[in-house]
Structure 1
Amino acid sequence: MIKKITFKKGRLSKILLTRLNNYYKDAGIDPEFVTMKWQKWNKNPFMVTFIARNEDNHVGWIIYNPVNSTIEDIVVKYPSKDKDVEKQLTDALVAAETLVSAEIHKDDKTKYQWMLEYGFRPTRSFITDGFPLVKMDLSISVLLKKIHGTTPTKPYRKTETVVIEKIPEKRGYVDIKAGVMRLIDALGGINKFIKPDSTVLIKPNIVSDHGLKDGVYKGGIITDIRVIRALTELLLPVAKKIIIGEGSSINRSETTKMFKHYGYDRLVELSPSKISLVDLNTDKQVDKHVPGGKRMHTRKIPLSIEKADVIISVPVLKIHFAAVASLSIKHLQGAVPPLEKYMTHFFGLWQNLVNIHHLIKPQLIVIDGLTGQEDFGPVSGTPKRMNILIGGTNPVATDTVAMKVMGLDPASSPPVFLAYMQGLGPIEKEKIKIIGATIDEVASPFKQPDINLDCGRDIRIHADSACSGCAGYLHFVLNKLRRPDPKDESRMLIDRPFDRKVNIYLGPFVQHPINPDETNIFMGICQQHNAETGTHLPGCPPHAEVIVNGVFSLFPDVERPQYADKSEEARLGEMLEEILRTL
């Protein structure tokens, strides 16, 4: 990324107004459009005018709204045909602000074209004061490539503490409880976190019923209930009220059944007057404004979380086939209601995982590493016995240590890296103090999933520039085609011949030209500009159910795989339609 452009905050000036008028006059756009924008900018106390310089030379302006991370306009002092200056200004803004959007006039073809080349994609058309506008969202894949290897422009100042606690091999309950107690003591003790008369909400990971099938427990999928029991028993003498809250992601209406399935109802028996179980999927909700408004301006948060004095986050040490790792940052996806879960996919999963942490801030994080999960996590992977607990108070620092224990680079996980770049915590070794065992003592590389996008005779995948999100979710769906074709069991379903070749495009840039005489499927925001030339699967990355629907539309005679049970499928369909109506 070019860094020679520097910004200084300035003011709306006559020369800027002249440049704006000249630009839009040349573009053939009504001059009243400039008048409208100028008046709006002057009335908005949050609007920022960045004066851009290249060394000592003034090269242009960016008018930027930090409330919703939107570029209102980019104006260069000396326009050029190749638009290099505009792109350099955008590079500098992205380096400082990371994920940004823009709003441009629908008829501003010049700006639309260079923004498209840069990596912005048209996601919404709307009318403001009678003028047609287009919302342009920056591709996450493009963003991650541009900021790869960089550090935040505003460095994280604090040093965070993370504890690695080893648990004896036999892993008896007494050993686990003692380990939890030592971990909390190392972070300052229970009284540092819990004040008298506090309401404490413990958020475990109970993603689905996959962790206990036919009476056989499979570790690494859900939080080990012994860790939750230990926390609960330690809290009972000091907390006024203890809530164990979760919103399961699979069979979303059945979180209460998941509690019973794993024996959480027995935890209530420890003190029925103080302990309760809350399904965060059905809890009352409150609207919260997202600082910076990146991708989503508001989120709905369960009332129990909003009212809790203390939140304790207890994720599992596991791989995620798209996010690379599913730890404390990914964990809070289970803390929002179902429609919010799916909206995050449509508007940008990685950014919205970070957004949640602006609104829900656990005071204590305890990563359950008794048994982790490697390979195709977070549900279908392989258990990996680790016998550790990892605790901290900062999600980025805690996830950084956990990923290093797993043999992973924290910058390789999109949500962890975005959280770091947006100032939520450090990944630098010198800014994380580790207490207890060292990383080297407990490190054991976790096997990562092999993402296989190889296709059959007539299906071609074009994914040269795709990020791990779309690639991982498409792999998940393609695997469902790697089974005998009911029309001819001598071949795989994925090898079924088609009259027209099928192309699936993902990632912002593709080398293969689009042939309108072939069947074309375009995945995600990165391919939204091609939506009208084929079938578009909306999202960033699209939800697995959306990809299943899109890919299996090629096989109308084949029963579509179910993401959840039939009643959940129907509800999910209604949710998806509701989201699509808002786009």
Structure 2
Amino acid sequence: NVAEESEPIGWIVYNSHKSLVEQILINKDQTEKGLEAPILDALIEKESLVAAEVLRADENAYRHMLDYGFRPTRTYTSDAFDLAKLDLSTAVYLEKIVGKRPPKEYPQTETVIVEKVPPTRSHNDIKTAIMNILDLLGGLEAFVKTGQTVVIKPNVVADHGMKDGVYMGGVVTDLGLLKALVEILLPVAGKVIIAEGSSINRAETTKMFELYGYDTLVDLDPSKVSLVDLHQDELVKKTVPRGKRMLSRDIPVTFENADVIINVPVMKIHFAAIASLSVKNLQGALPPLEKYMSHYFGLWQNLVNIHHLVKPNLIIIDGLTAQEDFGPVNGVPKVMNLLIGGTNAVATDAVTMRIMGLDPALSPPVRIAHMQGMGPIEPEKIQVMGASIDEVRSPFKQPEINLEGGENLVVHAESACPGCRGYLHYVLFKLRRPDPRHPGKLLIDRPFEKRINLYLGPVTDAELNPDETNIFLGVCQQHRKDMGKHLPGCPPHTDVMMKGVFGLYPDVVLPQYADQTAEDKLEAMLEEVLEKETT
């Protein structure tokens, strides 16, 4: 009942295990009042991101869902019924929750420690800072018992941090920090495992370990310390609670067998997620296909889902040398000499973002995690110990997202969320270079015979011209996929966007984001997964 009336005006059939709207029923004397939208508003306020399932033949129900902001993502047959699944646009959801609090108040206050490290950053300085964090959170014994297996999840995203053989900082988790942490753990832990799966250099995680000197950590105690490439690990299938965007995920067995998990991300800007901190860092905990599927089915929600399956006991954010501007790999190092520790990812990220001069509510994964009750961002719900936020705050330079098109290439992005905007900026940047066919022009200004339109976001004021070349980006534009070229995902993976846009330039070599052979293989594997779902 969503109106101030004594009698129910309608009902919603909702499968909470799958976060799925199965049917909306309106009293026959209320059907002319357009009550579907307020009923959905009430559900979404309580349940956050949801999906809907409608009969493919029910054009009225399909249109209602489409008008609200749901988009068709899959079709399948169940019990002889032809069904369409529609996912609520993340951009629509983020707009609906602006200024709102979670439906349930977070039940407790979380503690976050902000520890300043002396500029000398000696090994002892870093080790002392870690011990101070642990002491304020209850001591090492509150996290690790004798003989337990501890898995440390650093951030080893790519090889971009090296320049002329020297690490510049701010890209991967600091080796000195990891060394100090391992030394603290060794007297108590039975095993210490440093586990990562690089998100860009996916086939070369082991090489990344060597490149950044992580292999030397094993020398601290070869009988106890090991490195694990999560892309080569055995997997265990885990059910996603409430089934948002995906019903299950394949998780590396290293995490399943861990007694303690320590999440050690880097303090940095992210061109699409706004900040890449502890919530974002667990994307690296997934094997390659799962990473790829996260983008396809909804990256921000899937980052939250991972935290329900891989549950860090402790977070230590590496703010020794952070990264600003166009992070997470192409930004500028920023010395902060900080370590930020906590036990709740959302609260720890909220404090860190405020130190960076950012509003935590602007980061899609942090905001969604907050609205789904994973942790607080409200200052009154977070006890900050050690240094105060004001004492160490230093605003980070944010990337300038430029979606300006070219002479014959137009971008329509009026309502897009930071995800598609950030990833498309990266692709358009690659077009702002000389056009080999037209001296004096940039690729983005190439004089195509037909105008190129790139559509992203759930709403656009532009009238669609079928005689032009139309490219539709992401779930928000999935309902238009038959009207031109569609690039799937939420947001579409960088490689998908790159191939889709650079397909307009067959004479130009495709810029390399990741290993193309590996990406093509993942794309084929995803197609197999989708084919199984629809048969």
Q: Bin the TM-score by the shorter chain.
A: over 0.9
Instruction: Give 1:300's aligned residue.
Output: 250
- Does the CA contact (< 8 Å) of 2:161 and 2:169 recur in 1? yes
- Does the CA contact (< 8 Å) of 1:152 and 1:422 recur in 2? yes
The answer to whether the aligner puts 1:568 opposite 2:518 as a matched pair is yes
- Does the CA contact (< 8 Å) of 2:2 and 2:38 recur in 1? no
Distance 1:382 1:252 in 2: 23
Instruction: Give 1:119's aligned residue.
Output: 69
The answer to whether the aligner puts 1:223 opposite 2:178 as a matched pair is no
Instruction: Give 1:75's aligned residue.
Output: 25
SS in 2 for 1:460: strand
Distance 1:317 1:83 in 2: 50
Distance 1:121 1:111 in 2: 12
Distance 1:342 1:466 in 2: 21
The amino acid of 2:180's aligned partner reads A
Distance 1:564 1:414 in 2: 24
Structure with higher RCO (Cα < 8 A, 6+ apart): 2
CA shift, 1:446, in A, is 0.6
Instruction: Give 1:352's aligned residue.
Output: 302
Instruction: Give 1:94's aligned residue.
Output: 44
Distance 2:484 2:470 in 1: 5
The answer to whether the aligner puts 1:364 opposite 2:314 as a matched pair is yes
SS in 1 for 2:24: strand
From 159, 180, 193, the counterpart of 2:130 = 180
- Does the CA contact (< 8 Å) of 2:2 and 2:42 recur in 1? no
From 311, 321, 325, the counterpart of 2:261 = 311
Tell me, which stretches of 5 or more residues in structure 1 are unaligned? Answer: 1-50
CA shift, 1:266, in A, is 0.9
Instruction: Give 2:331's aligned residue.
Output: 381
CA shift, 1:564, in A, is 2.0
Question: Which protein shows a greater Rg?
Answer: 1
The answer to whether the aligner puts 1:429 opposite 2:374 as a matched pair is no
- Does the CA contact (< 8 Å) of 2:304 and 2:369 recur in 1? yes
Distance 1:563 1:414 in 2: 23
- Does the CA contact (< 8 Å) of 1:53 and 1:60 recur in 2? no
Cα–Cα, structure 1 residues 571 and 213, in superposed 2: closer, same or farther, change >3 Å? Answer: farther
CA shift, 1:58, in A, is 1.6
SS in 2 for 1:162: strand
SS in 2 for 1:111: helix
SS in 2 for 1:362: coil
CA shift, 1:214, in A, is 2.4
CA shift, 1:294, in A, is 0.3
CA shift, 1:574, in A, is 3.5
- Does the CA contact (< 8 Å) of 1:374 and 1:383 recur in 2? yes
- Does the CA contact (< 8 Å) of 1:371 and 1:384 recur in 2? yes
Distance 1:573 1:77 in 2: 46
Tell me, which stretches of 5 or more residues in structure 2 are unaligned? Answer: none
- Does the CA contact (< 8 Å) of 1:205 and 1:334 recur in 2? yes
CA shift, 1:213, in A, is 3.1
Measured against aligned partners, the alpha-carbon deviations of 1:61-112 in whole angstroms (never above 9, x if no partner) come to 0111100000111111146676631100000000000101111111111111
SS in 1 for 2:498: helix
From 77, 81, 98, the counterpart of 1:131 = 81
Distance 1:549 1:181 in 2: 47
CA shift, 1:566, in A, is 4.8
The amino acid of 1:404's aligned partner reads R
Measured against aligned partners, the alpha-carbon deviations of 1:448-468 in whole angstroms (never above 9, x if no partner) come to 111100011110000001000
The answer to whether the aligner puts 1:325 opposite 2:289 as a matched pair is no
Instruction: Give 1:28's aligned residue.
Output: none
CA shift, 1:579, in A, is 5.0
72-81 or 111-120: which moved more? 72-81
Aligned length: 533
Distance 1:265 1:551 in 2: 39
Instruction: Give 1:483's aligned residue.
Output: 433
Distance 2:342 2:304 in 1: 17
The amino acid of 2:414's aligned partner reads D
The amino acid of 2:82's aligned partner reads P
Instruction: Give the fraction of aligned pairs with identical amino acids, expressed as a percent.
Output: 60
Instruction: Give 2:94's aligned residue.
Output: 144
SS in 1 for 2:352: helix
CA shift, 1:488, in A, is 1.8
RMSD: 1.3
Distance 1:578 1:366 in 2: 38
The answer to whether the aligner puts 1:445 opposite 2:407 as a matched pair is no
Instruction: Give 1:39's aligned residue.
Output: none
Instruction: Give 1:506's aligned residue.
Output: 456
- Does the CA contact (< 8 Å) of 2:197 and 2:229 recur in 1? yes
Measured against aligned partners, the alpha-carbon deviations of 1:278-312 in whole angstroms (never above 9, x if no partner) come to 00111000000000000000011100111000000
Cα–Cα, structure 1 residues 421 and 268, in superposed 2: closer, same or farther, change >3 Å? Answer: same
Cα–Cα, structure 1 residues 581 and 132, in superposed 2: closer, same or farther, change >3 Å? Answer: closer
SS in 1 for 2:476: helix
Q: What is the 5 A alignment of 1:489-500? A: 489-500=439-450
- Does the CA contact (< 8 Å) of 2:495 and 2:519 recur in 1? no
Instruction: Give 2:193's aligned residue.
Output: 243
Cα–Cα, structure 1 residues 63 and 565, in superposed 2: closer, same or farther, change >3 Å? Answer: closer
